[in-house]
Amino acid sequence: MDRIRITGGVPLEGSIPISGAKNAALPLMIASLLTDETLTLDNVPRLADVQQLFHILANHGVDTSFQGKRTGQDQLAGQTVDLLARAIVDTTAPYDLVSKMRASFWVIGPLLARMGEARVSLPGGCAIGTRPVDFFIEGLRALGANIEIEAGYVVAQARAGLIGNRIRLPKASVGATHTLMMAATLARGETVLENAACEPEIADLGECLIAMGAKIEGHGTSTIFIEGVPRLRGARHAVMPDRIETGTYALAVAMAGGDVTLEGASADHLEKPIELMRQAGADITVTNRGMRVRRNGHGIYAVDAETAPYPGFPTDLQAQFMALMTAGKGTSHVTETIFENRFMHVQELARLGAKISLNGQTATIEGVKTLKGAPVMATDLRASVSLVIAGLAAEGETEVSRIYHLDRGFERLEQKLSRCGAQIERVSA
Ligand code: UD1
């Protein structure tokens, strides 16, 4: 199995192109199930999760073709993909495909809306909490679907089509918002989705659905109005830049020091993380190329962070922020409020010499002067990149194993970091 080997202590200098957002690309690809015309997506990142979703969509009958690169285009530029679901050939999403990635469960919305039936395995994904699907089930029932759980599958039927309704999510779930918004586009009448998640990826999906002919207002806010239409058409849409990748590399620079421009990054979606990184001592400016991050000379200050739904501090940056705080001057607290089991990185960071104690959902971090390289193990997608960040700043060699977690969500991580001078390489066992 591949590992990533890092020799730490080198400041990062240069530029990193920011990829299309994984968490936007996945629902956008799933939206192709809603129409029998071609959906063209630009800026799709090359990631294991994206590949996995291509397999899942192919199983339902989606033809995928990749448009070639234009001459002179950066080798790290995103790809353009045509997705065509002329006919849905299978409304079952089987366990062996869905168990690898939670977001694949979201196909239930478009399949049910277009075909009047769907049979989707209960999902898998990162082991960061129980992550149930009760909001999806209750929401789809409110749209008129009949739903049973049979042998690990959610079996949904709405033979006469879905019917718009008022739905209030018990908690602002990103996945339930994507799924119910997609389902409601083809329902009869109006759906009002209250307490919807406000993440920018939901606004991005909403824009694409509108380009496909959907009638949606309020996407990106906590109340979304969807007026159902009989059919959707093809469209072209560019996947938004990845705010989590952006925040991750910004935190890497804050930790290792240096001066890096994150090309194509959008600072608009990172208000809270930028505020906290500035408090921690990073110098962040918005330029016409993206976002410039610097930390020269002075140390890292201890800052508290608490995760919250957007626009709060994202849970997907919690592990990376904690890595930064392990080298802070003084004591900081990091509180996780979204997932109940998202501290698996704590014991791995401790192997590098970090001093962290856990009390319920809050980690108390006592900054240390230097971290020391060590072998560590990736445990989930975002946790694994926190170990890379810590390794970049640690003295000596850090080897991160089980990096298939990283490949799920970070495109060409070693290339992007090594072009900024980082001593980082992938080694095959
Ligand atoms: C998405 C993101 C993930 C991010 C998370 C929170 C994608 C592909 N994944 O995951 O990277 O960490 O948002 O920002 O976009 N919940 C229920 N019942 C449900 C659904 C959710 O109780 O039916 C709970 C979850 O357990 C969790 C909370 O709601 O505590 C939020 O989860 P949710 O927003 O649904 O996360 P995902 O969509 O899975």
What's the 338 CA to ligand 1 centre distance in angstroms?
Answer: 8
How many other C-beta atoms are found inside a 10 Å radius of the C-beta of residue 213? 17
* Residue that has been written with the tokens 């979703």 in this structure: 53
CB 25 within 8 A of CB 41: yes
What's the 157 CA to ligand 1 centre distance in angstroms?
Answer: 24
Q: What is the pLDDT of residue 131?
A: 63
- H or E segment and range at residue 382: helix 381-393
Pairing of strands 190-194, 223-227: antiparallel
Q: What is the pLDDT of residue 128?
A: 43
Q: What is the pLDDT of residue 275?
A: 98
**Alpha carbons 131 and 152: distance in angstroms, whole number:** 15
Q: What is the pLDDT of residue 78?
A: 82
Pocket lining: 310 vs ligand 1, CB cutoff 6 Å:
no
> Residue 198 above 60 pLDDT?
yes
Q: What is the pLDDT of residue 125?
A: 47
Domain covering 3-18+241-427, topology: UDP-n-acetylglucosamine1-carboxyvinyl-transferase; Chain (3.65.10)
> Residue 64 above 70 pLDDT?
yes
Give the list of residues 6+ apart from residue 392 with CB closer than 8 angstroms, or none. Answer: 6, 8, 10, 12, 252, 255, 256, 417, 422, 424
More confidently predicted of 70 and 340: 340
Which range among 74-88, 245-259, 304-318 shows the weakest confidence by mean pLDDT? 74-88
Q: Which of 50, 167, 174 to mutate to test the pocket of ligand 1 (most atoms within 8 A of CB)?
A: 174
409's tokens: 């969500």
Closest residue by CA, ligand 1 atom 33: 173
Q: Which of 171, 306, 336, 342 to mutate to test the pocket of ligand 1 (most atoms within 8 A of CB)?
A: 171
Band of residue 124 on the pLDDT scale cut at 50, 70, 90: low
* Catalytic choice (126, 198, 208, 420): 126
Share of the chain above pLDDT 70, in %: 96
> Residue 33 above 50 pLDDT?
yes
Q: What is the pLDDT of residue 404?
A: 86
Closest residue by CA, ligand 1 atom 7: 23
What's the 310 CA to ligand 1 centre distance in angstroms?
Answer: 12
What's the 127 CA to ligand 1 centre distance in angstroms?
Answer: 12
Coil, strand or helix at 413 = helix
| Range ranked top by mean pLDDT from 58-62, 70-74, 127-131 | 58-62
**Alpha carbons 221 and 191: distance in angstroms, whole number:** 15
pTM: 0.96
Is it true that domain 22-238 has CATH number 3.40.50.300?
no
> pLDDT digit string (tens) for 148-173?
999 889 999 999 999 999 999 999 99
Q: What is the pLDDT of residue 126?
A: 46
Q: What is the pLDDT of residue 1?
A: 79
What residue type is 328 in one-letter code?
A: G
> pLDDT digit string (tens) for 84-118?
999 999 999 999 988 888 899 999 999 999 999 99
225's tokens: 């109005």
Q: What is the mean pLDDT of the chain?
A: 94
> In terms of Cα–Cα distance, which of 429, 379, 426, 374 is closest to 405?
379
Q: What is the pLDDT of residue 72?
A: 60
- H or E segment and range at residue 416: helix 413-418
Pocket lining: 23 vs ligand 1, CB cutoff 6 Å:
yes
Q: What is the pLDDT averaged over residues 260-283? A: 96
**Residue 126 annotated as catalytic:** yes
**Alpha carbons 23 and 17: distance in angstroms, whole number:** 17
Pocket lining: 330 vs ligand 1, CB cutoff 6 Å:
no
Q: What is the pLDDT of residue 328?
A: 95
Q: Which of 30, 149, 173 to mutate to test the pocket of ligand 1 (most atoms within 8 A of CB)?
A: 173
- Stretch(es) of the chain classified as CATH 3.65.10.10: 3-18+241-427, 22-238
Q: What is the pLDDT averaged over residues 13-17? A: 97
How many other C-beta atoms are found inside a 10 Å radius of the C-beta of residue 168? 13
What residue type is 366 in one-letter code?
A: E
240's tokens: 């938004």
